[in-house]
């Protein structure tokens, strides 16, 4: 055989099966070594028995896993590192401006500027709507607490640190005093009256006043916890408006008894400008007690675990799918 053909090997291990024509020698023709071309080609298939994985480079440097840093009790209550962040001061300024707007509207609504006073329902609606407006406008910066009772209820729920909570309350009180001073400057002398102070109605005892402030603040703070719950997806509509309605309900209910403060800053501002502190402690102890109890009940007693929330979510989706099929 003079022109013997030898098939070349595949260039790589991923070549698909090929049809290669291999010349055959006729065994009966030994003299001429006649080459017979076959009619059918022989299929040559190369099979890769195992996958070859690239060998990883050896680790030249292995960084040790850092141990969690132990924080002291002082750092837990006073994390001073946030003083270096611009967002921290933006949040403080947000609390000041938002509380100023709130107290400005809430205390000026209902003053006898005109010959006839504004009905109480108007003051309740104005207070609730301004709260909803402020939450929408400033909620993305600081959370728009605008209320020491709300800040305390978040502190009880571990949603804010102690140091920031103190500064929030300080800025809220400063905003309230600034708002009351502004109200006094733009209101005629004959209409200033008590400058929108919250006062206990005659014949209402201190115990009754405390209970009223406790319950209306409890309703407000419990609503705040409900709309801020990350594990709930069953709350529709506007969350800011839900808080505003809680304030409106509190004003309509508690207004005839105590003026329906629900907010120590709202009572603190006019008291400072007017220099009147009669029974002022009610507007601190009542709302703060209600906010603490609301935070404990929602986040401790009636706390929903992520597993139960996920189960409830799946049940809700299954129910909706069933209704859609029907």
CA distance 165 to 145: 10
The predicted-structure confidence for 133-164, as pLDDT tens digits, reads as follows 999 999 999 999 999 999 999 999 999 999 99
The answer to pTM > 0.75 is no
pLDDT given for residue 63 in this prediction:
62
pLDDT given for residue 40 in this prediction:
47
CA distance 56 to 40: 46
CA distance 162 to 265: 18
Residues of the chain whose pLDDT is less than 70? 1-68, 113-119, 304-326
Residue 265 in contact with residue 103, Cβ under 8 Å? yes
For the chain, domains (ranges, CATH) are 86-302 (1.20.1080.10)
Return the closest-CA partner of residue 109 out of 174, 165, 191. Answer: 191
pLDDT given for residue 177 in this prediction:
97
Strand partners, 25: 35
CA 290 to chain centre: 22
pLDDT given for residue 241 in this prediction:
95
Return the closest-CA partner of residue 180 out of 85, 250, 51, 275. Answer: 275
Residue 260 in contact with residue 254, Cβ under 8 Å? yes
Return the closest-CA partner of residue 232 out of 242, 245, 217, 219. Answer: 242
């Amino acid at each position: 055989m003079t022109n013997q053909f030898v098939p070349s090997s595949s260039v790589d291990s991923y070549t698909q099966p090929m049809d290669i024509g291999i010349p055959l020698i006729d065994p009966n023709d030994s003299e001429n070594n006649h080459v017979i071309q076959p009619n059918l080609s022989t299929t040559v298939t190369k099979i890769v028995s195992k996958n070859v994985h690239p060998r990883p480079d050896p680790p030249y440097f292995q960084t040790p896993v850092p141990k969690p840093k132990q924080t002291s009790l002082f750092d837990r209550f006073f994390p001073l590192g946030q003083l270096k962040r611009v967002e921290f001061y933006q949040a403080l300024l947000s609390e000041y401006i938002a509380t100023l707007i709130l107290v400005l509207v809430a205390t000026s609504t209902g003053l006898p500027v005109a010959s006839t006073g504004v009905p109480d329902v108007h003051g309740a609606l104005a207070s609730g709507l301004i709260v909803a407006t402020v939450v929408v406008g400033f909620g993305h910066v600081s959370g728009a607490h605008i209320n020491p009772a709300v800040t305390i209820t978040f502190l009880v729920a571990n949603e804010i640190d102690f140091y920031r909570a103190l500064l929030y309350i300080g800025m809220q009180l400063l905003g309230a005093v600034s708002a009351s001073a502004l109200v006094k400057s733009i209101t005629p002398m004959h209409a200033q009256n008590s400058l929108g102070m919250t006062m206990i109605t005659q014949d209402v005892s201190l115990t009754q006043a405390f209970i009223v402030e406790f319950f209306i603040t409890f309703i407000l703070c419990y609503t705040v916890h409900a709309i801020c719950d990350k594990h709930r997806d069953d709350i529709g509509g506007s969350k800011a408006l839900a808080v505003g309605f809680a304030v409106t309900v509190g004003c309509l209910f508690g207004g005839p008894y105590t003026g329906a403060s629900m907010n120590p800053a709202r009572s603190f501002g006019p008291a400072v400008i007017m220099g009147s502190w009669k029974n002022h402690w009610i507007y601190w102890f009542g709302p703060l007690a209600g906010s603490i109890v609301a935070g404990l009940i929602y986040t401790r007693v009636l706390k929903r675990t992520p597993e139960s929330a996920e189960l409830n979510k799946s049940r809700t989706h299954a129910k909706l799918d069933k209704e859609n099929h029907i």
